[in-house]
Amino acid sequence: MEYTWRWFGPNDPVSLAEIRQTGATGIVTALHEIDNASAWPEAAIHERKAAIEAEGLTWSVVESVPVTEAIRTAGPGCDADIEAYATTLLRLGAAGIKTVCYNFMPVADWTRTDLMRPLPNGGAALAFDYIACVAFDLFILQRPEAAGDYTAAERAAAATYIETLDDAARQRLIDNITAGLPGANAGYDLTGFRSAVAAYDHIGHAELRENLRYFLARVVPAAEQAGVHLAIHPDDPPQPLFGLPRIVSNADDARWILEAVDSPANGLTFCTGSYGAAAENDLAAMAAAFAHRIHFVHLRSVACDRAEPRSFYETEHLGGDVDVAGVMSQLLNAEEHRHSSLPMRADHGHHLLGDAGRPTRAGYPLYGRLKGLSELRGLAMGLRYSS
């Protein structure tokens, strides 16, 4: 297993020199400064790769080459954006970068309602409060069809919740939900978010699946030519939000994606925190079933609220409700039959110790991820010795 670390480029408060001290040998990054609809320039790819290698590290995974909303909605500009995407894959492959993580989540990337939930030990964690999300949809976003998507009890709880927010807390909720893709220069303002959601008025689960199939049918051949493995990230959280469909939430979804374009180049990012936020997902069984098409792994855990299981917070990497050890065991067993090491990163992390003094992105502190990576490396070593 190759231990990797997500780095957001030269402006990341966590430097490559520091990453090298964490035990990670691979870097997971992207050219975040390039417009989502543009092909990545060859020179920029090689420049970033050289900077990483100059620090004794390897650019192991691209996370991510973003999929545009035009592609997801099959709207104007879709084919041009897909062509640019395929060109980027060819250029990455030519540069020796062979794994590309991406997602197909409409409008919102991973969504949290609280980016700094206090923990008993003095640290802070990411959290998702389902009722807070309902309140945002009903009373802030004011989506016309929202009321019909929730029960009377959920609407009442959301109404009570929104009354507890002062202006600062209300704005914080808006900012957290509309933040956009990690590493992107900007998310949405409320008006832009509302317009982006409205673009999906006539796109349901089946239509979004077909749009993904259309995308894959055109980019997988480029990935095959380039020797690149595509690895789709699951929905986070794995449930519909704001009336938007989600199509990468469970084993059935993963199986459909792999069969839609049946190629080794079309694979999965196995994120235990994302899949693990749905109690019905058996992650160890999923890891075993899909091991041959898992190209990248995010390991972390969550604890779901017993009263409202759609709410959760991110726990220590070996805590919570996710069977991280069971997943790791399955992946280590499968790795014996691979031709190369499986890249894995400790996903997210608590804000701990000196993290408060660094302007890191939410979920991507130094010390919290260092702790998680150390725990996961120890788990892997223990499993190897016990087998």
Closest CA to 125 of 302, 318, 255, 265: 302
292 is catalytic: no
271 a catalytic residue: yes
The active-site residue, picked from 229, 295, 298, 351, is 298
The catalytic residue among 114, 271, 295, 323 is 271
Our answer to whether residue 364 is catalytic in this structure is yes
Catalytically annotated residue among 129, 188, 200, 233: 233
Q: Is there a catalytic annotation at residue 233?
A: yes
Three-state DSSP string of the chain: CEEEEECCCCCCCCCHHHHHCCCCCEEEECCCCCCCCCCCCHHHHHHHHHHHHHCCCEEEEEECCCCCHHHHHCCCCHHHHHHHHHHHHHHHHHCCCCEEEEECCCCCCCCCCEEEEECCCCCEEEEECHHHHHHHHHHHHCCCCHHHHCCHHHHHHHHHHHHCCCHHHHHHHHHHHCCCCCCCCCCCCHHHHHHHHHCCCCCCHHHHHHHHHHHHHHHHHHHHHHCCEEEEECCCCCCCECCECCCCCCHHHHHHHHHHCCCCCEEEEEEHHHHHCCCCCCHHHHHHHHHHHEEEEEECCEEECCCCCCCEEECCCCCCCCCHHHHHHHHHHHHCCCCCCCEEEECCCCECHHHHHCCCCCCCCHHHHHHHHHHHHHHHHHHHHHC
- Residues marked active site are found at 233, 271, 298, 347-348, 364
